[in-house]
Structure 1
Amino acid sequence: MKRMPLALMTVSLLLAACSTTPTRPAASPVDVTVLGLNDFHGYLEPTSFPTNQPDPKDATKKLAINAGGIEAISAELIDARKANPNTIFVGGGDLIGASPINSGLLRDEPAVYALNGMGMKVSALGNHEFDQGLDELFRMQNGGCESNDKAKACKFDPNYKGATFKWIGANVKYNTASGKTGTPFAPYSIQEIGGAKIAFVGAVTKTTPGIVSPEGVSMLEFTDEADAVNAVIPELKAKKVDAIIMLIHEGGEISAGSTDDYSTVGCKTLNDQSPIVQIAKRVDVAVTAIISGHSHQGYNCLVPDPKGKDRIVIQGQQYGHLLQRLDLKVDKANHEVMTVRAANLVVNYDTRKANNTLDFAMTQIVGTANNKVAAIKNQFVATLGDPQIQRGIGNARNTETALGDIIADAQLAATQAQGSQIALMNPGGIRADLPDTTQIKADKSVNFGDVFAVQPFGNTMTVMTLTGQQIKDVLEQQFSGANAGTANKLLQVSAGFSYKYTLANPDGQRINIADITFKGAPINPAGSYRVAMNSFLGAGGDNFTVLKGGTNVVQLPNLADVDVLAAYLKANGPSLKNVVQGRITKL
C-alpha cells in the first residue's frame, strides 16, 4: 500500500441534505479531541520503543527511543488541552495488571492514581483488569483496603481512594450461577465536552474467561462484543448524543507482508481474520470510530461498517508508547459528527526529558512508588551470560524464545522434589525481556525488579501427572479453538522435551505423537509423566483446558514463579545466553 503523508486521516460523515427534506437547524459545530491509552499495564516509567525511523548510527536498524511513562504521557495531555480545551482522555483496557514492580507490587494503586491525575474519564474493561478477580476490581474502582492481597493493598496510600474514572463493559454480565442478575459495570458513559454529548460504549474481549484465572470470573459471562454494543445504540440515540465512540479491549494486527505500521494513515491491511475486524464489520453504523486494544499493535486503519462505509479502527501499541488521537467536528444542533480525523502520537520520553517538559506531578508519583519498592526492586539477582535474554521479536507468542526456554528450565529445576520430568510455560505470561532494553547494564546484571517485570502475575507452581496422549492433546490446543489463527500460543518447554508441528494440518492433527520426544525417545501415549507449570496454566488458563484433566495434582502455594526464576538465574546466570535452544520445530 502506498503510504500517505503523516497527516491526520479525515473521513467525512456529513451527508448533503436534499432540497425536499425539512429545514435542518443551523450547524452548531464544536471541535472535540479524544486521546486514548490502551494496554498501559501500569508502566509508570518509559520503556524501549522501536520507531519506524532508521537508526542514524546503523541504517540497517530502526531507531529505538524511550517512550511512554506517566511523566511524558501527562505532558502530551497538558499540551493537547492547551491546544483544545475540549479534550478528553479515555482508555482501551488493560490499564492495570501484568505491571512492573513499582506498580504491581503496590497492587497497581500508583497506576490508578496517575490516571486519575491525568484526568482520565472512562475506560473499557480489559481482561487484565480481572486478573485478581471481580471483588478486587471493584476495590480498584471504588477504593478501600479490603483486598485479597493485603500485603500489597494500600501500601502506596493507606487510604486508597479508587479510580475517579469509570470502567465500562456492555458485554460483561452476571451468569445464572452467580445468583445475581444484571451487569456489574455500566455499558456506556456519556461525557459532555464543549457542550457536545459524546457517548463512549465499552466492551472487553469475549475470550476473557480463557485468559484470566478462571475462578476470578466464575460468576460472570462475557457475551459477543458487537451484539452487546449494538443493543445499547437505540438507548444512546434516544438520549440524543452527538457522537458514539466504541472503546473495546480486542484487537488485530497488520497482515503479514504489509509495510503499514503505527504511523500509516488509513491503512486497509488489518488481517481480515483479526477479531477486531470481524467485530467492526458488525458494529452499528452509528458508532463513529473504534478505539481498540489487547493485541499490543500500533495501527490506524479503516474497516468497512455494516453498510460498507469505511470507519476508523485504531490502536496505540502498548505501555503508553503511543496515544490514539481522534479529532471530531461535532454538530450539536443536529446531533451528528461532521468529520473525524485519526492519528497515533508517539510519546517520546527522551525528547521531553531533554526539553524539560515532563510533568513534575507525575514525577512525584514515580518517585514515591519507586521509593516504596526500592528495597526489593534493587536486590541483585545474577550476572547473565549476555546483556539481555529476549522473549521474542515483537513479543511473539507463536515461536520458541530464549527466555521461554530458560523459564521452563527454571520451573523444572524447582519442582524436582515433586517428580517433575517436563515443564510447560505459557508465552503470554512472559511480559518483558530480561532486562528491558532501557534497563540493560554494562555488567550484564539483573535485579529483582527486572525479574518481576518478566513474571508479574504472582502465580505459584503446580505439578500434575499427564498421559502421553494428554500431552499431545494440550500441544494441539496451541493451534485450535480460541488459540487458532493469529492467536497461536506456543508453549515453551524444558530441556529434554521436544516436538515438531505442521501448522497447515487440520485441527487435532498438527502434531504426530511420534514427533513428541522425551529424553530422545517418543513419548508413550499411555505412559504417565510429571509435568510442572504455573498455577494459571494448571487451571486451564490461556484455553489449555486439557490440563484440567491432570491427576495427582500438587499445588505449591509458597513457591512463586518469579522466585523460581530468580533462584535459577542466581544459580546459573553466567551460563545463560540469548540463544533459542531449538526444542520446537515447525515443519
Structure 2
Amino acid sequence: MRSSPAPRHLPPLLLAASLLLSCAHGGGAPALADTRPRTVSVKLLAINDFHGNLAPPEGSTGELRTGSNPDGSPIRVKAGGASHLARHLARLRGPSPRNTLVVSAGDLIGASPLVSALFHDEPTIEAMNLAGLDLTAVGNHEFDEGTTELRRMQTGGCHPVDGCQDGTSFEGARFKFLSANVVDGQGATLFPPYAVREFEGVKVAFIGMTLEGTPEIVDAAGIRGYQFRDEADTVNALVPELKKQGVRAIVVLLHEGGVQKGTYDGCEGISGPIVDIVQRMDAEVDAVISGHTHQAYNCVIAGKRVTSAASYGRLITDLDLVLDGTTGDVVESTARNVPVTRDTEGVAEVQKLVEHYDGLAAPRRNRVLGQVTAPLQLPNYQRWPSGESTLGNAISDSQLAATRDAGAQVAFINPGGIRTDIDAGDVTYGEAFSVQPFGNSLVTMTLTGAQLHTLLEQQWEGSLVRILQPSRGFSYTWKASAPVGQKVDPASLRLNGAPVDPAGRYRVTVNSFLSNGGDSFRVLTEGTERRGGPVDVDAMEAWLKAHSPLTPPETNRITRVD
C-alpha cells in the first residue's frame, strides 16, 4: 500500500534549518538524517503473453511501432526472440540484481509456434529457466492441454505420449506458477495463490491471477472440477491474510488486460476489463502487471500502477518500486516499457537451445499435408478490389469446418493473420505454419445479426482498412464512397442465401486474437457462449487433407460498389 502523500525529501533550505536547530539544542537530539525512514528499491522486470515465441517472431507480430514519420507513416523496429529477451533482461538487471525479480502475467505457453508447440512447450519453459524468470501468473493458454499437463510444466517429467523427444529429461519450471482464483470443489487452489519475497527486510507479495473467463475459451474436459473466480474479489479476500504476515506492498500478476490508443509506453484512453477490475481492487494493492490482450500500456488506474508489455517477448516492463523501510509501504512507483530490439547479440546459451529444438522440428516442418491446384494468394486490392482473397477464403472455410461441433455458422479471418501465399503443388506443414505462424486457437461465440453488421463496419475504423475474409455461405455488399460506419448495407448480409436477421443469434468463429478485440474489432469482445477450438494451422491441415488437391475457392463472397 502507498503511504501518505507526505514528501519523502525535505527541501535544502528546510533541511539546513533543521540541522541548525538540532545544533542549537546542544546535539542531544539525533540529526534529521538519522530519523528519516530509509527506503528500499525493488526492480520488477515483467513480460506477458510470450506464447512460445522462441525464434524472433516474423511479420507485424515481430515489430513494434515506436513513432511516426513526418508523413504520418509508422516507424517500426524489429523486436522479440528468446535470446534477445534474455540479453535485455540481463542488461536491465544490472551488475547487482539483488533486489530484482523477473515476473510474467501469464500465457508463457500455449498457442505457440512449431518449435515450441511440437515439444509440448518444454523448450519455452527451459528458455525461461535460462532467462531467470522468477514468478508467473497462470494464463488461460496454460490450460490448453489441461491441468495435468500444466502441473507437469511446473514439476517436470516426460509427456506420457511423446515426451522428452530429444532424449533428455524435462526438469520443469524453476520459477513458480501462481494462481489464486482457480480452485477445486473444496476451495483449494491449483497452484499457490501468492508468493512473498523479502528485500532488505521488507516484504512484497505477488498474487497470481488467471483470466476468470478461461472456461469459455478452453476445452472443458481439461479444467473439469475447477472454478475460475472473480479476479478483484479474490485479490481483496487475500489482503487481510497478507497484512497479518507483515506485508504492506502488494503486486498483482493478472492475466487480463485492456486496450489503449497511444504509444507502447502510453495510456491514451485505456479501456477494457482491466479498468473495472483494478478499480474494484483493495487500496492496499500497489501495482498490477497485466496481459491477455497483447497490448502495451503504462498507466495509473485508481492510484495503482498498471502495465502490460504487448506480446511475444517484444517488450519488457521495467517497474521500479520504492518502499518505506520502516512501514513497508510503497512510496513511489515508476515504469517504462522497453523494446526488446535485435541490435545486440542474444544470449548464446538460449540461442543454442532454440537452434537445438529447431533442428529437431525439421522433419515435421517438411511433412506434406496435401496439394493445391493453383496458388492460394494473400488479399490484394489490385487483384481483388472487394478485399477478399483465395487464401483468406480457404482459411475461413477450414475454420468453419473445424468448429462445426461448436455450432459454427460462419467464420472470419483477419488479413493480418495471413502472412504469405501458398504456391501450387505440395503444401508442407512448414508452409502452412508460415501462413498462420501466430499459433492462434479458434473461438466460437454467439453474436446477434446487428453485432455482425457492426463487426463489418469496424473494418474501416482506424488508420488501416482490414477486410475480414468470410467463409463460404456468407456474403455482403459494401460501398467505397460511403462514410465510415455506413459502408455496409445491412440488408445485403446473407447467410446460406437467407437474410441476416438483426435480432437473430448466430454462431461465429474467429481466432483468439480477434476474439479479444484485436485489430480494433471491439464488438467481438461482446460475444457470448464462447467455446474454444483447435489451433488455426491444425484446422488448415485437416482441410487440406480432406480436400486435396484443393482448388482455390471463388472470390464471390464480398461485393464492392463505388
Shift in Å at residue 71 of structure 1? 0.5
SS of the residue aligned with 2:336? strand
Q: Quick check: 2:315–2:340 contact (8 Å CA) kept in 1? A: yes
Structure whose alpha-carbon radius of gyration is higher: 2
Match of 2:337 in 1: 344
Relative to structure 1, the CA distance from residue 247 to residue 495 in structure 2 (aligned partners, 3 Å threshold; closer, same or farther) is same
User: Is it true that 1:517 corresponds to 2:494 in the alignment?
Assistant: yes
Q: Quick check: 2:440–2:511 contact (8 Å CA) kept in 1? A: no
CA distance in 2, matches of 1:315, 1:335: 25
CA distance in 1, matches of 2:501, 2:205: 58
CA distance in 2, matches of 1:547, 1:334: 47
Match of 1:126 in 2: 139
Q: Quick check: 1:13–1:339 contact (8 Å CA) kept in 2? A: no
User: Is it true that 1:249 corresponds to 2:255 in the alignment?
Assistant: yes
- Look up the equivalent residue of 1:235 and give its one-letter code: E
Shift in Å at residue 261 of structure 1? 1.8
CA distance in 2, matches of 1:367, 1:478: 49
Q: Quick check: 1:98–1:431 contact (8 Å CA) kept in 2? A: no
Once the two structures are superposed, what CA deviation does each residue of 1:520-577 show, in whole Å capped at 9, x if it has no partner?
444899xxx9x998999xxxx99664989xxxxxx99xx952413555897458x689
| Matching residue within 399, 405, 410 for 2:398 | 410
User: Is it true that 1:49 corresponds to 2:25 in the alignment?
Assistant: no
Match of 2:24 in 1: none
Relative to structure 1, the CA distance from residue 360 to residue 25 in structure 2 (aligned partners, 3 Å threshold; closer, same or farther) is same
SS of the residue aligned with 2:134? strand
Match of 2:521 in 1: none
Q: Quick check: 1:405–1:493 contact (8 Å CA) kept in 2? A: yes
Match of 1:498 in 2: 475
Relative to structure 1, the CA distance from residue 275 to residue 119 in structure 2 (aligned partners, 3 Å threshold; closer, same or farther) is same
Q: Quick check: 2:143–2:150 contact (8 Å CA) kept in 1? A: yes
Relative to structure 1, the CA distance from residue 478 to residue 13 in structure 2 (aligned partners, 3 Å threshold; closer, same or farther) is farther
Match of 1:311 in 2: 304
| Matching residue within 406, 414, 419 for 1:435 | 419
Shift in Å at residue 341 of structure 1? 0.5
- Look up the equivalent residue of 2:86 and give its one-letter code: S
- Look up the equivalent residue of 1:62 and give its one-letter code: P
Q: Quick check: 1:88–1:120 contact (8 Å CA) kept in 2? A: yes
Q: Quick check: 1:434–1:450 contact (8 Å CA) kept in 2? A: no
TM-score normalised over the length of structure 2? 0.72
Q: Quick check: 2:46–2:318 contact (8 Å CA) kept in 1? A: yes
Q: Quick check: 2:392–2:418 contact (8 Å CA) kept in 1? A: no
Match of 1:78 in 2: 90
Alignment length (residue pairs): 485
- Look up the equivalent residue of 2:429 and give its one-letter code: F
- Look up the equivalent residue of 1:15 and give its one-letter code: A
Q: Quick check: 1:451–1:566 contact (8 Å CA) kept in 2? A: no
Once the two structures are superposed, what CA deviation does each residue of 1:389-408 show, in whole Å capped at 9, x if it has no partner?
69xxxxxxxx9998653322
User: Is it true that 1:327 corresponds to 2:299 in the alignment?
Assistant: no
- After TM superposition, the structure 1 = structure 2 runs for residues 445-484 of structure 1, keeping only pairs within 5 Å, are 448-452=429-433, 454=436, 474-476=446-448, 479=451
- Look up the equivalent residue of 1:115 and give its one-letter code: M
Once the two structures are superposed, what CA deviation does each residue of 1:37-64 show, in whole Å capped at 9, x if it has no partner?
1000000011221323346xx9553233
SS of the residue aligned with 1:288? strand
| Matching residue within 344, 348, 353 for 1:360 | 348
User: Is it true that 1:40 corresponds to 2:50 in the alignment?
Assistant: yes
Q: Quick check: 1:385–1:576 contact (8 Å CA) kept in 2? A: no
Shift in Å at residue 31 of structure 1? 1.9
Shift in Å at residue 107 of structure 1? 0.3
- Look up the equivalent residue of 1:135 and give its one-letter code: T
Q: Quick check: 1:411–1:564 contact (8 Å CA) kept in 2? A: no
CA distance in 1, matches of 2:388, 2:105: 29
Match of 2:269 in 1: 269
CA distance in 2, matches of 1:547, 1:289: 32
Relative to structure 1, the CA distance from residue 547 to residue 123 in structure 2 (aligned partners, 3 Å threshold; closer, same or farther) is closer
Relative to structure 1, the CA distance from residue 569 to residue 458 in structure 2 (aligned partners, 3 Å threshold; closer, same or farther) is farther
Shift in Å at residue 243 of structure 1? 2.0
Root mean square deviation, CA, Å: 4.8
Relative to structure 1, the CA distance from residue 499 to residue 137 in structure 2 (aligned partners, 3 Å threshold; closer, same or farther) is farther
Relative to structure 1, the CA distance from residue 80 to residue 361 in structure 2 (aligned partners, 3 Å threshold; closer, same or farther) is same
Q: Quick check: 1:325–1:345 contact (8 Å CA) kept in 2? A: yes
- Look up the equivalent residue of 1:118 and give its one-letter code: A
Q: Quick check: 1:434–1:451 contact (8 Å CA) kept in 2? A: no
Identity %: 33
CA distance in 2, matches of 1:225, 1:87: 26
Match of 1:470 in 2: none
Shift in Å at residue 363 of structure 1? 0.4
Shift in Å at residue 409 of structure 1? 2.2
SS of the residue aligned with 2:45? strand
CA distance in 1, matches of 2:423, 2:396: 27
CA distance in 2, matches of 1:388, 1:367: 30
SS of the residue aligned with 1:301? strand
TM-score normalised over the length of structure 1? 0.69
Match of 1:210 in 2: 216
Q: Quick check: 1:403–1:433 contact (8 Å CA) kept in 2? A: no
Match of 1:192 in 2: 198
Match of 2:14 in 1: none
Q: Which runs of 5+ in 2 are unaligned?
A: 9-31, 381-386, 459-466, 479-487, 513-523
SS of the residue aligned with 2:115? helix
SS of the residue aligned with 2:41? strand
| Matching residue within 173, 178, 200 for 1:168 | 178
SS of the residue aligned with 1:206? coil
Relative to structure 1, the CA distance from residue 413 to residue 289 in structure 2 (aligned partners, 3 Å threshold; closer, same or farther) is closer
SS of the residue aligned with 2:67? strand
Larger deviation, residues 158-167 vs 72-81: 158-167
